[in-house]
């Protein structure tokens, strides 16, 4: 087996483990809502295990660089999502009449644009020692540097935002 094949396998494994992590977190949330706490804990533990696998595979693939490189990669990924990926997804969802998907994709597209700008800011201010806090909208994924009165994307009240 060539090094190239192993690299592809590492990236395929990373994608699969990453998706499993997100899926198991959704399952854990659902189990918790249903009062099935043992299942919720198992899904959470499995999700964390998948994260361990994904991180190691990404590192072995050589895809975790310096913070500067990682911020540049974040900017590129978020920019692709808001400029190309989500606009195309929205067009298809509109053509198919799937309003819920249109809303979900629109929220994500607008949030990804904010994420790209925040990554650019972080890159420009990488050596600043001033602590910055970020606030996440739990509905659309928008991130703000200050608690807003309401989310600029989905209008959720600012007091619902999660502080980082």
For residue 40, give the CATH number of its domain.
Answer: 1.20.1260.10
**Whether residue 126 is found in the same domain as residue 151:** no
**Euclidean distance between CA atoms 125 and 134, whole angstroms:** 15
Q: List the CATH number of the domain containing 162.
A: 2.20.28.10
- Residue 136 sits at the vertex; the CA angle it makes with 62 and 124, to the nearest 5 degrees, is 55
- Domain containing 42 equals 3-60
**Euclidean distance between CA atoms 30 and 36, whole angstroms:** 9
The angle that helices 86-95 and 99-124 make with each other, rounded to 10 degrees, is: 170
162-163, strands of its sheet edge to edge: 143-144, 135-136, 162-163
Instruction: 156-162: list long-range contacts, CB under 8 Å, 24+ apart.
Output: 161/135, 161/136, 161/137, 162/135, 162/136, 162/138
**Whether residue 72 is found in the same domain as residue 121:** yes
**Whether residue 93 is found in the same domain as residue 124:** yes
pLDDT at 111: 98
DSSP 18-65: HHHHHHHHHHHHHHHHTT-HHHHHHHHHHHHHHHHHHHHHHHHTT---
**Whether residue 163 is found in the same domain as residue 146:** yes
**Cα torsion angle, 44, 11, 140, 152, sign:** positive
**Whether residue 92 is found in the same domain as residue 118:** yes
pLDDT at 3: 84
Q: Which two tokens stand for residue 39?
A: 């299942």
**Whether residue 56 is found in the same domain as residue 75:** no
Among residues 137, 135, 117, the alpha carbon closest in space to that of 125 is found at 117
Q: What would you report as the CA-atom Rg of the chain, rounded to the nearest whole angstrom?
A: 18
pLDDT at 123: 98
As averages over each run of 10 residues, the pLDDT of the chain (164 residues) reads 88 98 98 98 98 98 98 98 98 98 98 98 97 98 98 98 98
If one counts the domains in the chain, the total is: 3
């Amino acid at each position: 087996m060539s090094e190239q094949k192993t690299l592809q396998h590492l990236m395929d494994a990373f994608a699969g483990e990453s998706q499993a992590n997100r899926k198991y977190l959704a399952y854990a949330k659902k189990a918790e809502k249903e009062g099935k706490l043992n299942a919720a804990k198992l899904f959470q533990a499995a999700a964390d295990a998948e994260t361990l696998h994904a991180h190691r595979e990404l590192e072995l693939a050589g895809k975790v660089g310096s913070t500067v490189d990682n911020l540049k990669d974040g900017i590129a990924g978020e920019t692709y999502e808001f400029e190309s990926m989500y606009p195309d997804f929205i067009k298809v969802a509109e053509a198919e009449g799937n309003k819920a998907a249109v809303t979900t994709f629109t929220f994500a597209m607008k949030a990804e644009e904010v994420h790209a700008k925040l990554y650019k800011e972080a890159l420009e201010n990488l050596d600043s020692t001033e602590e910055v806090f970020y606030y996440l909208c739990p509905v659309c994924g928008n991130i703000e540097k200050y608690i807003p009165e309401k989310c600029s994307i989905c209008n959720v009240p600012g007091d619902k935002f999660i502080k980082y």
